[in-house]
Amino acid sequence: MSGGLLETIVFYSIAAVALVLAAATVTARRLLRAAVTLMFVLALGAGLYVMLDAEFLAGVQVLVYVGGIVVLIVFVVMLTSRADVVEERPPRARKALGALAALGLFLATAGAILTTRFPLADPGAVPAESAPAIGAALLDYGARGYVVPFEVISLLLLAAIVGGIAVARKSSPPGQPMTSGGDLPGEVDFVPPRSQREPVKGGGDDA
């Protein structure tokens, strides 16, 4: 923890802004606005990671979270609503309950945090180099290695991609061969080989 005063100021500034922006995210009435503020919160999160000596992670955060996920969210917003639609305010009861629940949760967590003696490391300990250490850990075959979760994560991502496509795809009208796109019924831009073709008469969809 070097540069004590500077660090303190930076920390509190980033924290304050992040909190304000997070509040804006969850209360924004236009979804696009919420997506943008989310992007800023995540970016600030990357800054926080830098303060915590996790530079590689900060890079990952920006690349994946900000650059990928927020973009996906914007896609979703565009696809599922008209761009200028304004979300209605939730009813007071729901707001109150939600606030109550969230506040309660925060207090419980804060209470737990403040009353627990966490095992702290020696203040003079040197943090590891972020990128090489992470890389080594991810490919470590030993007992404390993360190679298995690493491989599983890749499977998970594959499954997510395939599942996403499967769910979001348009189902074809009965009797029609599969289409890979196109909005109008009857539009065919892909003809499967003869062996894969469904019988013209009445055949139901095959999985």
Partner 1 sequence: MSGAVAEFPLALRYAWVVAAIPFVSFAFVGLVLRPLAPRAAGVVATLAIFAAAAMAVAVAIAYYGLYPPGAEHPALVPFAVEWLRYQPGFTIAMGVLVDPISVLLIVVVTSVSALVHLYSLGYMRGDPGFGRFFTFMNLFTFSMLGLVLAPNLLQTYVFWELVGVSSFLLIGYYYERPSAVAASKKAFVVTRFADLGFLLGILLLGYHGFTLFGEVGPAVARDVAGRIAGELQPLDFLYLNDPALLARLAEGGATVGGVGLLTAAMILVFMGAAGKSAMFPLHIWLPDAMEGPTPVSALIHAATMVVAGVYLVARMFPAFAASGDALLVVASVGAFTCLFAAAIGCTQDDIKRVLAFSTLSQLGYMMFALGVAAIDRPAGYTASMFHLFTHAFFKALLFLGAGAVIHAVHSNSIWEMGGLRKRMPVTHLTFLVATLAIAGIWPFAGFFSKDEILAAALHGGHPLVFGVGLLVAALTAFYMFRIYIVTFLGPARHEGAAHAHEAPLVMAVPLVLLALGSIGAGWIPFASFVGLGGEATEHGVELAIAIPATSAGLLGIGLAFLLYSKGAERARSGAAALGAVYRTIKRKFYIDEVYVFLTRRVVFNCVARPIAWFDRHAVDGMVNLSGQTTRWGGRLFGRLHGGKVQAYGVWLVGGTLFLLLILWSAVR
Partner 2 sequence: MPDIFSGIGFTPGLQHWLILAAALFAMGVYGVLTRRSAVGVLIAVELLLNSAALTFVVFNRFSRPAAVDGQVMAVFVIAVAAAEVVVAMAIFVALYRVGRTVDLNKLDRLKNDEVER
Using CB under 8 A as the binding rule, the residues of this chain from 88 to 147 that contact partner 1 are: 94, 97-98, 101-102, 104-105, 108
User: Shortest Cβ distance from residue 195 to partner 2 (Å)?
Assistant: 30
Per-position x/- string for 70-109, each x denoting binding to partner 2 as judged by CB under 8 A, each - no binding: x-xx-xxx-xxx-----xx-x---xx-xxx-xxx-xx--x
Q: Are 140 and 147 spatial neighbours (Cβ–Cβ below 8 Å)?
A: yes
- What is the footprint of partner 2 within residues 104-143 (CB under 8 A)? 105-106, 109-110, 113-115, 118-121, 125-128, 130, 133-134, 137-138
Which entry of partner 1, partner 2, none binds 191, CB below 5 to 8 A by partner kind?
none
Report how far residue 59's alpha carbon sits from residue 51's, in angstroms, rounded to the nearest whole number.
13
> Residue 206: how many CA atoms within 13 Å on its side-chain side?
7
Q: Could you tell me if 45 and 18 are in contact, meaning their C-beta atoms sit under 8 angstroms apart?
A: yes
Q: How far apart are CA 180 and CA 165, in angstroms?
A: 11
Cα radius of gyration rounded to whole Å, the chain: 25
Q: Which of 83, 148, 168, 200 binds partner 2 (CB under 8 A)?
A: 168
Tokens, residue 103: 């506040």
Give the interface size with partner 1 as a residue count (CB under 8 A): 8
Among partner 2, partner 1, none, what binds residue 53 when CB lies within 5 to 8 Å by partner kind? partner 2
Other residues' Cβ atoms within 10 Å of the Cβ of residue 197? 11
Residue 54 and residue 66 in contact, taking contact as beta carbons nearer than 8 Å: no
Is residue 4 at the binding interface for partner 2, with CB under 8 A as the rule? yes
Q: Which of residues 171 and 195 has its CB atom nearest to partner 2 in the complex?
A: 171
Is 161 a binding residue for partner 1 by CB under 8 A? The answer is: no
Q: Site residues for partner 1, window 6-35 (CB under 8 A)?
A: none
Q: What is the dihedral of CA 89, 90, 93, 99, to 10 degrees?
A: -100
Cα(52)–Cα(55) distance, integer angstroms:
8
Task: Print the binding letters for residues 172-201 with partner 2: x by CB under 8 A, - otherwise.
Answer: ------------------------------
Q: Which residues bind partner 1 (CB under 8 A)?
A: 94, 97-98, 101-102, 104-105, 108
